[in-house]
Each structure stands twice: as structure tokens, then as C-alpha cells.
A and B are shown apart, each in its own frame.
Chain A
Amino acid sequence: MKLYDANIKALLSNINLEQARKLDIVNTNWEDVGDYNLILRSDMAYELGGENYPAISAMAVTSQNEFVNTDEVLLLGPDLKDIQEDCPYARIAIVRVAEDSLGDGNALYNAIRKIEYVRYHINPKGYMTRISAKQGREPVRVSKDAIEDGLGFAQVGKMFIDTYHQNKNIKAVKLIFITDPAFDYKSLAEQAKHFEDITGTIDHIFKNVIMDCGSCSLQNICDEVEGLRELHFSTMR
């Protein structure tokens, strides 16, 4: 799985991970409340990515240890207890899977989407995510009670990582939360879109096996991403 590797490398090089804090997720637990996670404005402390702030999520899959060596949760910017009002927000998940474990063809696309859809199944108490794939946004409402009870990104991150590991193909996850107001969210949003474009192109390839590349709107993605063209022509053989 090298489809996202060049972009992962570019993304990680744009984030100053030396300034990020590695959060302790050992012995960290928090209640998952499933569907009972409504946070109204009156109960809300603030919204990560609220109003007109960026609310970015990015997910990419790799098989390279150099990108994801072990499970880790990193934070760039203030933690939940130190945030006072709505602020910009990003969540990046780089997921390492066993080489060739995701299959090919539609199975590959579905396996990647399945990893991405983990975010729909995580409901930490007092942390209400509002995902919009269409708008490419993932703002989060955080409740006053959760802050008082000590919720932080360590607990949220641990819940994400535990849920990812329910998928036996996943070996390790690097989860990066960003709340630093000075961070370049615009560039990150472009990179996140690029990840999504790669996933979309995989789907496109397998749905449109015989086609003229010259007339394809996704040709630039295919040209740019190592492995996509190979994937495409392997399906035509």
C-alpha cells in the first residue's frame, strides 16, 4: 500500500511534529455513549472548528513503518481543558496496515472506506462530532460537563485507536490533533482533499475499467500518485 505515501510524506513534513506533544494513552479510558451524545448550545463549552473556523479531517493508509511506527496520539496546540472558545481544528489519522492486506479492486476501495468510516462510530461522552463528507468538515462540540470531568484528546484519541484496532488489518495508527491557531490549516485542507481524491480515483478506476485516460477528469491524480496508474492498467489486463 503505497498509494498515499508521497502525500503522507508531504503532509507530515508540513507539520512541525517536534512541537507536538505525545499524549499518554495508557490507562486512559472514557465512556462511549453511542447514539446518546446530543450536545446543545446551552450545554456546550465551545465548538472545535465551529462557526467559520477550519474543521479538517484527513485519513490515509500506508504500510510503511517510517510513517507510523507505533500507536500514538499527538497534539499540536492547546488541549481541551485549555481551550476557552471556538477555535480551528484538525484531526489527521495515518493508518498502517499489513502489506497487501486490503486486497485489490473494489475490495481495496471498500477496505479503505471502512477504515475511514471508523469516525462515524466513535462517540466519546461530551464530544459530539458533526461530520459532513460533502463539505469536507468535521467540527466537534465539546460539553462543559466533559471538560469538568477531565476529557482531553488523550481519551478521545485512545477511543479512536481502540476502534481502529477492531480491524485486524490495522497494525498501528498515528493520530494527530491540531488546535494551534497559528497552524496553516489552508494547506492542510488541500492535502486532506488530495487524500480524498486518491481514494475517489481508486473507486473511479474500478468502475471505469476501459477508458481513455486523455478524457478522464482524474488523470492528473493518476499521473501524480505513484501506484494509481499501475493499479489502473492492472485492471485492464
Chain B
Amino acid sequence: MIKKPIVLAVAGKGGVGKTSLAAVMVKLLVEAYPDKKILAIDADPAVGLSTALGVEPTLTLDDIRKEAVEAAESGNTEATVEILGEARYRIFDAMVEMDGFSFIAIGRPEAAGCYCKINTYLKEVIAQVADNFDYIVIDGEAGIEQINRRVMEKVTHLILITDSSKKGCDVVKTIKGVADNLVMYDKIGVIVNRVPSQDVLQYMDLGNIPLIGCIPADENLTERDLKGESVFYIPDAAPIVEGLRGALSKMGVI
């Protein structure tokens, strides 16, 4: 049963709608593959994906990391080994199982100092658990290097998000440059989110990143944000859902 999951990572400048798109991505995968195992990973310290998916996590990966660091700092080697040895079981305590998908939050890296070995080990544990899933969606911090450092080295589909701003475009090009150097994806594409009109596309410089989607500002999302509702309540015909469905289809995901 050795199969590798399809890992979709969402990255881009802050405030361009990454988290909402990652959440809708989970919704689309759940609808397209009701029999597959789907994992949503919130790798953004702001932990917004949980709200967008209607999940209430009580434990994060960084809480487990913190336990190990505290044990290590107190000189209790056995406790550290025990905590790390059982990390793959503890992950299930941090995992929230919803209807059709599972969710895990990485949390905030609060402990100071360098704990590279613990980070590396926990990353291996995440990878080990993740291998049990068919599809994984990672909502990352702004850049791909954080995902690489804290969550997972191998992303199969890197989905970059920008708005129509020059800064947004520059950020996605930079992320692609870093990702190319790390040799860490199979497919890449960019989605332009909240475009005021299709006309602006001609003025945007996205480098050589394939454009896979163009999504207008969506009042369905604004309404959901106001109510604090899960994206699962957004109608299928909503522009954000339609636009993202097209983008995932272009990448061969659905």
C-alpha cells in the first residue's frame, strides 16, 4: 500500500485570499472524492483555515513540539524521547476528523532557540502520517520556504495566489524562484484572485508561471466571512467555487 499523496500547497502574498481558496479547495476535493482520505493542514500561524472550514482544533503540532522542547530544556531526556517517540500517536489527538476530511493545525512557533532536530523529527512524523492520505491541502505562510521548513518537503502541486497588485505578482515570482531551487514540486500554477475585471490581466507580469485561474471578488465569501461560516455553505455556482474548480481541473487534480 505504498502510495504517495497529492500535496497541494497554497502560497502567496499576505491578504490575497490564500486561506479562503485553500478552504474552498478542500470543499471541492471532498465533493469530488468522497471516498478518498483528505487532510487539510493549516501551516499559517494565523490559523485562519480552521475558521474557514468550521473546525475548532484544541491542540496543534507546535503544542506537541513545545512539550518536547520543555522536556529537553528540563534535562529530562527520557521524557523527550517518549514524547517524540509517541508524536505520531499524539498527532491523532491534534487531528480533527470532520465529515469528508481531517484537519490539523501546525500552530505558532513560540519557543525561542534552535531545535532543528525536534523540528526535523516532527516534520518526518507529519510526512509519515500524511502518507496515509490521498490528498493534502496546505495553507501556508506567505512563502514556500516556511512550508518546506516546518511542514513538508515534497509538494506535488504548488498553487500560487496573487491579487492584481504588482507586489502580489512579484511575490509569486519570488516564491517560484525559491521553489525551483528547492526542486520541490511537480506542477505549478497561479490564480489571480479578486480581479476587478479581466482587462487588468494584460498589465500583470506573472513571469513564466502558468495562469490557471482568474477569480473575481466574491460577495458569497464576504458574507461567509461576516457570519464566520464554513466555506462548505458557499453555493457551488459562486464565482470562487467555479473559478477554483476550473483551476484545479487545469492542473489535473479534479
Contact = CB atoms under 8 A, between A and B. Distances in A.
B129 A36 contact: no
Contact of A35 (B86, B97, B128): B128
Contacts of A120: 85
Contact of B89 (A41, A42, A131): A131
A186 B131 CA distance: 37
A21 B1 CA distance: 34
Given A36-B131, A36-B132, A38-B133, A134 B2 contact: no
Contacts of A38: 37, 129, 132-133
A133 B102 contact: no
A203 B77 CA distance: 12
Contacts of B78: 203
Given A36-B2, A40-B97, A40-B102, A130 B129 contact: no
B82 A134 contact: yes
A210 interface: no
Counting chain B residues whose Cβ lies within 8 A of the other chain, the interface size class is 10 to 19
A123 to B, nearest CB: 11
A126 B218 CA distance: 44
A131 B83 CA distance: 11
Interface in A35-52: 35-38, 40-42
Q: Is the interface of A mostly helix, strand, loop or mixed?
A: loop
B92 to A, nearest CB: 6
B90 interface: yes
Interface in B73-96: 78, 82-83, 85-86, 88-90, 92
A129 B88 CA distance: 11
Contacts of A42: 97
A209 interface: no
B89 A132 contact: yes
Q: Which 7 A-B pairs have the closest CB atoms?
A: A38-B132, A130-B89, A41-B97, A36-B1, A35-B128, A133-B82, A131-B89
21 contacts: A35-B88, A35-B132, A36-B1, A36-B2, A36-B131, A37-B132, A38-B37, A38-B132, A38-B133, A40-B37, A40-B102, A41-B97, A42-B97, A120-B85, A130-B92, A131-B89, A132-B89, A132-B90, A134-B83, A134-B86, A203-B78
Interface of B: 1-2, 37, 78, 82-83, 85-86, 88-90, 92, 97, 102, 128-129, 131-133
